[in-house]
Structure 1
Amino acid sequence: MGWSPTISMVLILSGCAVGPDFVQPKAKVQDQWIEGNDPRVMATNEVMSHWWRAFDDPVLDRLVQIASEQNLPVQIAGLRIMEARAQLGVAIGYQYPQTQEGFGTAQQNLLSSQFANQENLRHSYANFNLGFDAAWELDFWGRFRRNVEAASAHMLATEADYDDALVSLTAEVARTYTAMRTFEVYIRIARENARVQGEGLEIARSRFRNGATSELDVDQARTLLESTLADIPRFQSSLQQTKNALSALLGKPPGGVDSLLYGPQQIPVASTQVAIGIPAELLRRRPDIRAAELNAAAESARIGVSKADLYPRFFLFGEVGVQSSDMANFFAPHSLFFTAGPGFRWSILNYGRIANDVRAQDARLQRAIVTYQDTVIRAAREAEDALVGFLKAQDSTRSSQRSVDAAQGSVDLALIRYREGSDSFQRVIDSQRVLLQAQNKLADARASVATYLVALYKALGGGWEVREGKPIIPAAMQEEMARRTNWGTLIPVRSPQTTDKIHLPTPAGSAPILRQPNW
């Protein structure tokens, strides 16, 4: 045909793509950690991926495993990946003929008897037609390829969001588990102190009955004992609340976690040393930083989508079919009709709408870049805060332990001296109160060590590796969705590629004009 060279030229020139290619944003990262010279801090590239195993607690290991498989917010993040993969398929599909429609009508027409008189006019006639039409807007300015680039970046960002959900989940399970064990320790401390205080009360009663002291000692002993007993229900309430929180993290109703909580009721303990790598590794390990960069890449590609509207759109169109007013001649040789050819559309008088849309998209890109830089700074701050908290909590634990040892000796001595009549009961009361406070403070310090270590590994981006070799949504859910909808090759669901590096989508200018569609 005469316009074939034109089509060939359009396809050749379709390699260009308007809009910017994404450039990785700059972010300020310190060279070393503030506490990096502490001997307990090991600068190594091998940051523990399954860091919760450092606590050597089988119960915690099991809780993390179940949570990674059953947590509902993580499953929601996995479903967002499936949605993004399907949306990428939609974007790729737009690179092919956008309109492909079969059509057909069967009409019986009756003209009005008042219609203008014409010779041999048929006032009643039929019209039958059957055909196919198509229209293909060529990707001359890279609009569709930029859209594919944006959809690819968005899909990769949802995968990073999924990893970030796993990082947050593993940290929250470990933190909540630590809080639960801490409340169990509080209850044990309170009960033990109540036992000791009860013995003191019996001594005060005995001395009162023997006339060796006043009833004031008995009242003071009872006051301290009841005050200690009053703390136990409060701790029990908090304990049950943390168990309920654990149940929710595991995707279970309240009470669903009780059968998993075996073993000693003690606060998780880990090594005093920690391996943290170097600050720059946050840029490749933390999923939220990867997601922020990929979101910026998507916004960059969308500038090209918006800019393409400033230029004319070239397209090919065609229609072919058969048409007749007599069904008997519907497929006769002379019933064939067709139209075909190239065309273009160009929105000229748009009153600045397109230009301002490009400007708005550019602002979105800049906002995404600043968000990325802010995410990097917050990540560094979280790591520094957790590291100094972990180290100083260890120092506090050692002092608190010495305080408990001294307070225990003070209580024993005060009871002996009171029994012998050498000291007043007020000394016993004061020493027992100080012991209870010191023991609770020690429990707080030990819990802080574990909690800060959890926060540190979360800040370093550890924990997303737990998904390796596992589907992003449960198999039963995949089967349910497959029964409801034809998901093609998207089910069974592929897990995201295991990596701690950012893989950006291919820029539109370097991408093939047509990508293989996903049917």
Structure 2
Amino acid sequence: MRGTENTRQGLRPAVARPVCSLPLLGVLAALSGCSVGPKFTKPEAALPQEWRTHDAAGVSTQSEVDSAWWKSFGDPTLDKLVELAYRQNLPLQQAGLRIVEARAQLSILTGQQYPQVQVAFGSATAVGVSENAANTVLAERHFLDYQLGFDALWELDFWGKYRRGVEAGTAGLLASVADYQSGLVSLSAEVARTYVLIRTFEELIELGQQNVKLQEESLQIAESRFRNGATSELDVAQATTLLESTRATIPQLEIGLEQARNALSTLLGQPVGAVEALLEGPKQIPRAPEQVAVGVPAAVLRRRPDVRSAELYAAAQCARIGVAEAELYPSFTIFGSIGLRASSAGSPSANLFSLDSLFYAVGPRIVFPFLNYGRLKNGVRVEDARFQQLLVNYRNTVLKAAQEVADALVGYVKSQQALTFGRASVKAAQRSVEIAVVQYREGSVDYQRVLDAQRTLLEEQNQLAQTSSSIATSLVALYKALGGGWEVRQGQPIVPEGTQREMERRTDWGDLVSKPRKQETKQEATQSPSPGNQQSAPPENE
């Protein structure tokens, strides 16, 4: 693209004169506005009209789902744990950094819409010509050659290849934001579930210890009756068996408790053992509120970030079909070169910076890859097949979302019903133990009655604790399935300040780490799950 004048013959630099190229450039620029490839539309997905248990007591479909749903348990410890997890969880920080990566990638795709090759060049070359070389007519065989100039190459986005790339990058960025929000939903639910598990183990251990004391008293009665000859050693053996069996369950429960605490430490981004001080307070299973808002099935599509993410990834892939299809058609490129060139071979006093040293060249270039042996067409097919996979994945994500809500809702409702029966059962089992012990002490029944009553009491108490835990975990699963929890972090930094400083010491990040792009703020304001029907706004110059 640079000047081709023959300085070896001492001629002045040639000046290229554009003749018919400018009208053609104008036509190409005017036509550079169409885009090939399909236009993305939101895929259809089947959803039930209402939840099967929508009319159950304590369930409301009229109210909006609480964003900070964990506060409905009324447990300050749980509130504090969720807030700490939002600030310290490491996988969540990874999701935030993927947003930063997507921002940078979108900036790359945006830059491809403008001149792709921009080169400033300069050289000073000493030339020596052989006397024995053919066609050597220069008077000077040793001279200096100077060049200084600028080259540019711009492929016009005639078929919308680069605009489609920006669409794909925009959808990919918004999908990474939705993935981050989905991470928030999963994190808050996992912290709450693990906290409920910790409190459940603590209550089961407490129940085990209470039953150990009760069974120790029964063993003392059996030993006293055996010493007095009122009964056989069988009663003592049976009482000892039950007592030691109950004692053996406590270490197993303590294993589960310690493992749950370790899991919570990891969720908080802390080493094991760091959560002990955070778990101070009443050791009771969090109680669910009397009224739970679940909304209607259609609201799941608006609230669940993973559903939006699945749709956005499909939108990004739809745009990539256009990128691949644009390769099938001719590409139109504008190239240009301008600069200064001089050589001492023509004139020892030649001035590089004089007007006579100017050269330039400008014009269009058309490339039509018609001999591609099906490679480009099959590239379109590959992208289309991937797009169809993502459409199916979107529909499957919607179905699974509805299933998760229905499963959690029925678990919550039925566990509430079971809790009423469980409380009555435990009360009756406690009374049975009292009666059996009194009757055994008086000698009216054998120890088998006491044994059965105490074993039943422990089982019913454990079952009641598990039911209470199931109510709490089902409610956590319900709110997770409804997609709640991410809203409270809107407008908050996605990358911790310490990480920002560490990254900025290595690389000039500009405002990519600290400032959301316009597409993000627009999506956050509207929460529209389908960007495909809107033209993507280009990001700010960065």
**TM superposition score category, shorter chain reference:** over 0.9
Alignment counterpart, residue 424 of structure 1, candidates 446, 456, 459: 446
Query: 1:373-398 CA deviation, whole Å, 9 max, x = no partner?
Result: 00000000000000001001111111
Of 115-124 and 467-476, more deviation after overlay is shown by 115-124
1:58 has 2:58 as partner: no
Cα offset for 1:330?
2.9
1:318 has 2:339 as partner: no
The CA distance in 2 between the partners of 1:470 and 1:196, in whole Å, is 53
Corresponding letter in the other structure for 1:205? E
Query: 1:234-273 CA deviation, whole Å, 9 max, x = no partner?
Result: 1111101101111111111111111111110001101243
Does the aligned pair in 2 maintain the 1:45–1:278 contact within 8 Å?
A: no
Q: What is the correspondence of 1:70-149 to structure 2 with a 5 Å cutoff?
A: 70-112=88-130, 114-116=132-134, 118-120=136-138, 122-149=140-167
The CA distance in 2 between the partners of 1:244 and 1:403, in whole Å, is 34
The CA distance in 2 between the partners of 1:213 and 1:500, in whole Å, is 79
Cα offset for 1:206?
1.3
Corresponding letter in the other structure for 1:341? G
Alignment counterpart, residue 436 of structure 1, candidates 449, 458, 468: 458
Identify the residue that residue 361 of structure 2 maps to in structure 1.
Answer: 339
Do the aligned partners of residues 500 and 274 (structure 1) sit closer, same or farther apart at CA in structure 2, a change above 3 Å counting? farther
Does the aligned pair in 1 maintain the 2:126–2:145 contact within 8 Å?
A: yes
Q: SS state of the match for residue 24, structure 2?
A: helix
Identify the residue that residue 351 of structure 1 maps to in structure 2.
Answer: 373
1:518 has 2:517 as partner: no
Query: 1:201-221 CA deviation, whole Å, 9 max, x = no partner?
Result: 111111122222222211211
Q: What is the correspondence of 1:218-237 to structure 2 with a 5 Å cutoff?
A: 218-237=236-255
Of 120-129 and 217-226, more deviation after overlay is shown by 120-129
The CA distance in 2 between the partners of 1:467 and 1:339, in whole Å, is 55
The CA distance in 2 between the partners of 1:312 and 1:45, in whole Å, is 56
Aligned residues: 516
Q: SS state of the match for residue 490, structure 1?
A: coil
1:32 has 2:88 as partner: no
Does the aligned pair in 1 maintain the 2:95–2:183 contact within 8 Å?
A: yes
Q: SS state of the match for residue 489, structure 1?
A: coil
Q: SS state of the match for residue 327, structure 2?
A: helix
Cα offset for 1:355?
0.8
Corresponding letter in the other structure for 2:217? E
Query: 1:276-333 CA deviation, whole Å, 9 max, x = no partner?
Result: 1111111111100000111111111111111111111111111112223349633233
Query: 1:120-154 CA deviation, whole Å, 9 max, x = no partner?
Result: 46544333322110001011111110110110001
Percent of residue pairs bearing the same amino acid type: 52
1:469 has 2:486 as partner: no
Does the aligned pair in 1 maintain the 2:119–2:150 contact within 8 Å?
A: yes
Does the aligned pair in 1 maintain the 2:40–2:532 contact within 8 Å?
A: no
Query: 1:483-510 CA deviation, whole Å, 9 max, x = no partner?
Result: 22111232423395445732544669x5
Identify the residue that residue 206 of structure 1 maps to in structure 2.
Answer: 224
Query: 1:40-86 CA deviation, whole Å, 9 max, x = no partner?
Result: 32112411111111100000000001101111111111111111111
Alignment counterpart, residue 202 of structure 2, candidates 162, 184, 187: 184
Cα offset for 1:37?
2.3
Do the aligned partners of residues 137 and 507 (structure 1) sit closer, same or farther apart at CA in structure 2, a change above 3 Å counting? farther
Does the aligned pair in 2 maintain the 1:145–1:511 contact within 8 Å?
A: no
Identify the residue that residue 12 of structure 2 maps to in structure 1.
Answer: none
The CA distance in 1 between the partners of 2:529 and 2:478, in whole Å, is 26
Cα offset for 1:170?
0.5
Identify the residue that residue 502 of structure 1 maps to in structure 2.
Answer: 528
Identify the residue that residue 6 of structure 2 maps to in structure 1.
Answer: none
The CA distance in 2 between the partners of 1:406 and 1:511, in whole Å, is 66
Alignment counterpart, residue 182 of structure 2, candidates 133, 142, 164: 164
Structure 1 unaligned spans of 5+: none
Cα offset for 1:112?
5.0
Corresponding letter in the other structure for 2:123? T
Of 335-344 and 321-330, more deviation after overlay is shown by 321-330
Identify the residue that residue 14 of structure 2 maps to in structure 1.
Answer: none
Q: SS state of the match for residue 31, structure 1?
A: coil
Do the aligned partners of residues 7 and 310 (structure 1) sit closer, same or farther apart at CA in structure 2, a change above 3 Å counting? same
Identify the residue that residue 7 of structure 2 maps to in structure 1.
Answer: none
Structure 2 unaligned spans of 5+: 1-17
Identify the residue that residue 484 of structure 1 maps to in structure 2.
Answer: 506
Alignment counterpart, residue 216 of structure 1, candidates 223, 234, 252: 234
Corresponding letter in the other structure for 1:518? N
Identify the residue that residue 409 of structure 2 maps to in structure 1.
Answer: 387
Corresponding letter in the other structure for 1:483? R
* RMSD after superposition: 1.9
Does the aligned pair in 2 maintain the 1:272–1:394 contact within 8 Å?
A: no
Q: SS state of the match for residue 310, structure 1?
A: coil
Corresponding letter in the other structure for 2:335? F
The CA distance in 2 between the partners of 1:254 and 1:494, in whole Å, is 34
Of 384-393 and 40-49, more deviation after overlay is shown by 40-49
Identify the residue that residue 241 of structure 1 maps to in structure 2.
Answer: 259
